[in-house]
Structure formats: C-alpha cells, structure tokens
Chain A
Amino acid sequence: MELAIFYAFAALVIGSALLVVSLKNTARSLFLFFIVLFGMAGLFIFALADFVAITQIMVYVGGVLILMIFAFMLSNKELLADLQNTSSKFLSIPNWQSLLLSIGFLAVMSYGIIEWHDNFPQWITENIRQGNIIKSSDNNINQLGIKFMTQYLLPFEVISIFLLAALIGAAHLSRKEDPK
C-alpha cells in the first residue's frame, strides 16, 4: 500500500514533469510545474523528511512559483504574449538530440542504479546496524532546529546572508533602467 502511494506520487511527478517540458504554452507549463512541486513534497514525506516537504511547499509553491507567475504577469504584455506562444500545436516537437541525450542519461543512470542494487556504502550499513536511522516516529523538526543552531550554525548564517544578497541582487537587476 505504501509502495502504491509512493508510485502514485512518483507517476504524478514524472508525468507532470513530462507534460511540463512538452507543452507549448508556457503558462500551462508553469501550473503543471506547481503540481510537480507538490508531488515532490509528497515524495519527501515518503523519505521521512516532513519538514523538508513543508519547506518545499512554502518556499517553492509559495515563493518561487508565485514569484515566477507574478514577475511575468506584472512585467509587460509582449513578454506575456511571447510566453503564451499561441501556436496551434499543443505539444512541442521534441528536439531529438536532447531527447537522445536525456534518454542516454536515463539509461546510464538506470544501469548504474541496477548495478548498484542496494550495495549500501559502509556508513549506511554501519548506521543501519547501529539503528541510527530516522524513523517515522522521530521528531524531525526538533532535531533540525537543534542542528541548525549548533552544528550547522555557520552554514546557516552564510546561507542567510547569501539569500539576502541574492534578493537584493535580483531586485537591483530587475529594476527599470534609468531613462537617461
């Protein structure tokens, strides 16, 4: 049952992702992307990362995606028209070279995954043996908070400043040019 739900999510994610890349209309793609992100959040939960799933929804769906949609919608009409790309075809013709490349990569990765076949690295087998694995009953949020404020404090701060810098940069970049 658990596996079935997982696969449902996985199918949702992959199917929507495929649609995202094959649709002509960018606006539709963007909404489908929304579904992909939700699906991903679901998959995170299956990996016992509930906080990550919530963050995913909040940051991506609530931030990134809204940012994207709003950014375009609020900018100018031509770009919007360009994005909507009123082509008669519903699906874009796949670019065979890139398709080949992607399938190639998929094949190689699948091959790798099959070859690997749960030959866990030593640290994983060690943790499994010692029982140091996350269980569904664990309070992840609590643990994460502690870790952020202790062990990962420096990266946390760095990433905060980085985020700030990125936002300021983004704001600077997207400002209107001076008329002069």
Chain B
Amino acid sequence: MSDLLNISPIIGSMLVVLLPFLAFLIQAILGKRSQSGNIALVSIILSTIFSLIFVFAEVWKQEPISANVSWFTIGTHTFTLGILLNNLTVLMQLIVCIIALPVHIYSKSYMKGDPGIHRYWMYLSLFCFAMLGLTISSNLLMMYIFWELVGFASYLLIGFWFTKESAVQANKKAFIINRIGDLGFLLGIASVYSMYGSLNLVELFGKDGLFYSLPASSDGWLTFTGICFFIGAMAKSAQFPLHVWLPDAMEGPTAVSSLIHAATMVAAGVFLLSTVFPLFNQTVLLTIAIIGCITALISAYFAISQTDIKKILAFSTISQLGFMVVAVGVGAWDAAMFHLATHAFFKCLLFLSAGAIIHEMAHLKEANKLDIDPQDINNMGGLKKWMPKTFILMSIASLALAGFPLTSGFLSKDAILISAFEWAAQLNGLYFLIPITLTLVSILTAFYIGRLIFKVFFGELKIKVERIHLHEANLSMLGPMIFLGICSIFLVFSWNPIAYHHSFILTGFSITYPFAEIHSLHIILPIILTISSAIAWVIGWNWYVKGKYPLNSGNKLLDISMNQGYINEFYNKIFVKSTLNLSKGLYWFDQNIVDGFVNFLATIVRNLAHFSAWIDRYIVDGLVNTIAGTAYYIGHLLRWVQNGRLQNYLGFAFTVVLIGIIYLIIK
C-alpha cells in the first residue's frame, strides 16, 4: 500500500492524462459492445483521485516540477515531450478532473438509450485525455497538439448527432474557427522558436529563462507573437470576432456543452494566456483587455434576448470569458484563473440544470407529441413547482454568476473588477472605460440570468397540455448537480466570504500587480454591484413574472440582440461567401486560363501538326504519290495490253507499225 501511495507527482500526472486515453482506446476497440460508459467513468474517477492526492496536494504552493524526454531531433534542436507541474497547471488539471467527473456521472443517465452512446463515451474520454494533457504540457508544441486534439474532440461531440443538419454545420463552424486560432497559436510557436530557439516553457519563462536572459528581438515581433497567441486564445475562448462558434456549438448534448463549452475547453484560452503571460508587452495586453471588454459587453447584450436556454448560457459563458480575458489584459492573470475556477463550477451547474430541464421538456414533448423546441424558455414557466431542487441549485449558480455575496462568483468577479479599476486608476483617462463597462456588464449579467430564472421557474407553464408529468431529475443527474452547487459557494475557495484576497487560489499564485491597491474600492464596488444587481432583479421580476413587459417585439435593439448582432450573417456574407466565390473563380481560372493555356498550347501544336500533316499528305506525299501513280497507270496501261488476246496483240503491233510509218512519212 505504501508503494502505491508513493507515486511521484510526475507519474501521477501522467496517469491522470493516460487513464482517459486508455479508456478511449478500450472503448474504441470494443465499439458497440461498450455502452455503459463504466470504463470512462472509472478512468475519470481514478484520474480525479490521482490528480487530487498525488499531484495537486504534492505540488500546490511548492516548487514547480518538470520532466522531459526527448522526442525527436531536427537539425541541432531536440524537441521534447514533457510534463510541467506548477501551481497553474495542477490547478487547471484538478479543475478539469473535478468538473469532468460529475459530468460523466450525469451523462450516464442523461444519455441513456441514445443509439450512439458508445461513441459518446469514447469521445468524452478522448476529450478528457486531450484536455488533461493540455494542462500539464511542458512545451508549447505539445500544448499545441493537445490544443488541437481538444478542438477535435469538441468537433466530434458537437456533431454527435450527426444526422442533424444544424449539428453538423455547427461542428464544422466550430472547428474551422478554432483552426484560425490554431494558426495563431502555431505562428506564435514559430515566432517564439525563431526568437528563442526553444519551446520549453521552463526554459523560456522559468527562473533565468531564455525569455529574461536573451535580449528581446524587435518589439514589433514580440507584439506579433503576443497577438498570435492571443488569436489562439480568442478562438478557443470565444472572444469577440471569433466567438460565433460557441452559441452554435450548443447543438451538442447538453452534458457536453457543460463540460467543454462552459467549464473546461473554452477556458483553455485563458489558461494559455496565463501560461505565456510574460510574453505579452503593453500593446498586446491592452489589446487583450479591449477585446475582452468588448466580448463581455456584446455577449451580455446578446444574452438578454435569446430564447434558447442553452444559447443564453452560451452567451453568458462568452461574457464571463471576456471577464477573464480582461483580467489577463490588466495583468491580473491570477484573478482570471480564479474566475476560471469558480466559473467552471457554477457554469457547469447551470448547464447541467438546463440539461435536466430540457430533458424533462423533451419527455413532455414526446409524451404529448408536441411540436415545440424543448430548449425554448418561452415554452417553460412555473417549473419551480415540479423541480424544486433543480430550481434551488440553478438559483445558487445564477447568484454566483451574478456575483452575489456568499457565492464563489462574488469573490472572483470582485477580484477582476477591482483589479481592473486599480489598473485603470494607474493609467487614468480613457482606460476607465474598461472597468466601467465591466461593471455595466455585471449588472446586465444579473439581469439576463434573472430573466432566465424567472421565465423558467416562475409563473405558469406556457404550453397547455392535459397531463403534465414533469418531475425532478433522477439521482445520478441530481447528485452531480448538488456537488457542483456546493462548489459554487464561497467556502470552497475561501473562508472569508467578502475578501477575495484570502482565497487559496490567489494566495497560491501570489503575483505582484504592476498597479497599486486601492482599499476603498474593495468596499464600495461590491456594495454597488450587489445593489444594482438587486435592482436588476426587481425589474426582471416585474417584467417577466408580473407580466409588465414594457418593450414591444419590434424593438431594434432587441432585434440586434436576438440575431446576435447579425455577426454570423456578416461573416457568412463577407468571409464565407467571398472565399467560396474566390475559390469558384480560381477554379474557373484554373480550368479556363491555366489549363486553358495548356490546352490552347496543345491545340496550337495539334493544329500545326494537322497543318504539317496536310502538307505532308497532299504536297510532299502527293508528289511522290503522283509519280508513283503515273508509273502505276502506265504500268497498268501496259499490263492491259497484255490481255492474252491475239487480236489485240496484232492490233497493237499494227498500230505501232502504222504509227511508225506515219512517223517516217512525216519525217
């Protein structure tokens, strides 16, 4: 037993990564024979245990550990595979494990009876493998590999119901947009490699790393590199211009949405930014902050009027990711990681609750043979009556999302907001736009999540059916939700419900901010936020529960919000259509100009050949043929004379004689 417990963190973390991979392989080989998902479940349980006991407990707040093996050598450079265990990576790994475990349990009953269930478990294990591998990669190349594998797993899971056209469109979109980010990441890697000659994170950013010892090359390329990595993070974390895939990705199973598109994968972008944080110079950081701010604002705005329950949550995810990105941008990447951790729990819970609701609505739809969208919140209402536990859990999560005191969200959101204000105070002027916008977004967040809760749980059920048998989700679904609900409370992260500084995550990172602390903000801001959130809820209550809805449906602003700012349409028109047209045009060019030129040459040559063949046949050969023909006809004529008839011979003889005589006479 003591031997077993003596697993080193490195081996432990390897096991954490490899167990899901093993599960993936076994399930891939077994195929349809493994439908229970027990293999995946066991592997993720073991991973979680290992991650918690042998990795997190060993490494947290300790010196970073890393181990590398050489992978291959190109030229004089050796590329390695390796594991890097520091506060950041082990925290991330643990979060992934702890979120993945309840989702696995939840999926067991949520996905029960699906004909493609064996694929589901396979993909899920693949995702866990990739995501866990991503967290502990010691070099950028390896991280990139897992980064893309995560995207691939997400592609598979979004398109899980591959016969559904919208799902297939969505997964294609998700993968291609992620590809843009991947390119950024790849170019960033190439840039780092060409500047520092190494991709190892320890060698680059560790103590006395290359990054600090080598003089930075040109500032321009440094900015370029930073932007490249940020583009990578933008795509994964659904930041503003590249956020469009995430709402569509909700086509996947809800459990998947909760794990991948709310808690873990989308956070990978923030994780990447935190990992390569030293690389960012002021320009890049400002860009990051601005983009994050825009993202937070517009997605909160879009969330307000969505009717699909999952889309609301998706936009709220984007918005919260915007918060995290702003945190990175202002230099408080520890706050970003903190928010990442808290957000992972409550957002996962929100999705799982939404999944439970959708599950019931779908049952209702099937039982009564209705033609409704089970995800549309306009069809719901008053569910509190049937699903009280879900209501409570979802409310906790919503409060956490809104940043209500005593929740985990309060702590992390405060950390970001206050850091942002402090940062802006340092720089003054227009920089204040960012924290103020974030405050506004917080209030909007409270409003739209309030809208969701009110529309779903309060009032009356909007669809009229005779027999309503809605009931609480079963235990294997409810259990994970309860677990996540507990995790959404402040106690899990900090003993102090008000001051975020005491949370163990922030103390673990203990980075020094480039800006001064402003104490008064720590008191004023939470109060303002809480009060304004409460006001927002009161308004929401009046509008959605009391039915005093003041706006009519033709409102322009609402329309834009409904249609997600027409960004998809814009992209479709500008990028997709133009690329397709360009490709069609180029194909035309290829067929008619390039190949046409070749064929034209061929035609010219052929015509020349025909011409010369004509000359050959009728002029050169014609001459020969004429001579030959003449000889032939003469020969033929002479041959005709020799026809065996004596009289003819005689006649010819006399003719010749006659001609001879005439000749003599004439002569």
Direct A–B contact present (CB less than 8 angstroms): yes
**Which residues of A are interface residues toward B (Cβ below 8 A)?**
97-98, 101, 104-105, 108, 111
Shortest CB distance B81–A (Å): 109
Report yes or no: B654 in contact with A108, Cβ–Cβ below 8 A: no
Complex-state Cα separation, A86 to B214, whole angstroms? 132
Report yes or no: B665 in contact with A105, Cβ–Cβ below 8 A: no
Chosen A-B contacts, 14 in total, with CB atoms closer than 8 Å, are: A97-B651, A98-B651, A101-B651, A101-B655, A101-B658, A104-B658, A104-B662, A105-B654, A105-B658, A108-B658, A108-B661, A108-B662, A108-B665, A111-B665
| Secondary structure dominating the interface of B | helix
Complex-state Cα separation, A111 to B661, whole angstroms? 11
Nearest chain A residue, comparing its CB with the CB of B648: A97
Digitize B642-667: 1 where CB-to-A-CB distance is under 8 Å, 0 elsewhere: 00000000010011001001100100
Q: Which residues of B contact A97 (CB under 8 A)?
A: 651
**Which residues of B are interface residues toward A (Cβ below 8 A)?**
651, 654-655, 658, 661-662, 665
Complex-state Cα separation, A111 to B658, whole angstroms? 13
Shortest CB distance A94–B (Å): 14
Complex-state Cα separation, A105 to B665, whole angstroms? 13
Complex-state Cα separation, A108 to B655, whole angstroms? 12
Nearest chain A residue, comparing its CB with the CB of B664: A108
Q: Which residues of A contact B665 (CB under 8 A)?
A: 108, 111
Shortest CB distance A116–B (Å): 12
Complex-state Cα separation, A98 to B655, whole angstroms? 9
Q: Which residues of A contact B661 (CB under 8 A)?
A: 108
Q: Which residues of B contact A111 (CB under 8 A)?
A: 665
Q: Which residues of B contact A104 (CB under 8 A)?
A: 658, 662
Q: Which residues of B contact A98 (CB under 8 A)?
A: 651
Q: Which residues of B contact A101 (CB under 8 A)?
A: 651, 654-655, 658
Complex-state Cα separation, A98 to B649, whole angstroms? 12
Shortest CB distance B649–A (Å): 13
Can you list the 10 inter-chain pairs with the closest CB atoms, starting with the nearest?
A104-B658, A108-B661, A101-B654, A101-B655, A105-B658, A98-B651, A101-B651, A108-B658, A97-B651, A108-B662
Complex-state Cα separation, A98 to B650, whole angstroms? 10
Shortest CB distance A161–B (Å): 29
Q: Which residues of A contact B655 (CB under 8 A)?
A: 101
Q: Which residues of A contact B662 (CB under 8 A)?
A: 104, 108
Q: Which residues of A contact B658 (CB under 8 A)?
A: 101, 104-105, 108
Complex-state Cα separation, A86 to B285, whole angstroms? 130
Complex-state Cα separation, A86 to B658, whole angstroms? 35
Shortest CB distance B163–A (Å): 96
Shortest CB distance B643–A (Å): 13
Complex-state Cα separation, A138 to B665, whole angstroms? 40
Nearest chain A residue, comparing its CB with the CB of B661: A108
Shortest CB distance B364–A (Å): 116
Shortest CB distance A115–B (Å): 8
| Further pairs besides A97-B651, A108-B658, A108-B661: 9, Cβ < 8 Å | A98-B651, A101-B654, A101-B658, A104-B658, A104-B662, A105-B654, A108-B662, A108-B665, A111-B665
Q: Which residues of B contact A105 (CB under 8 A)?
A: 654, 658
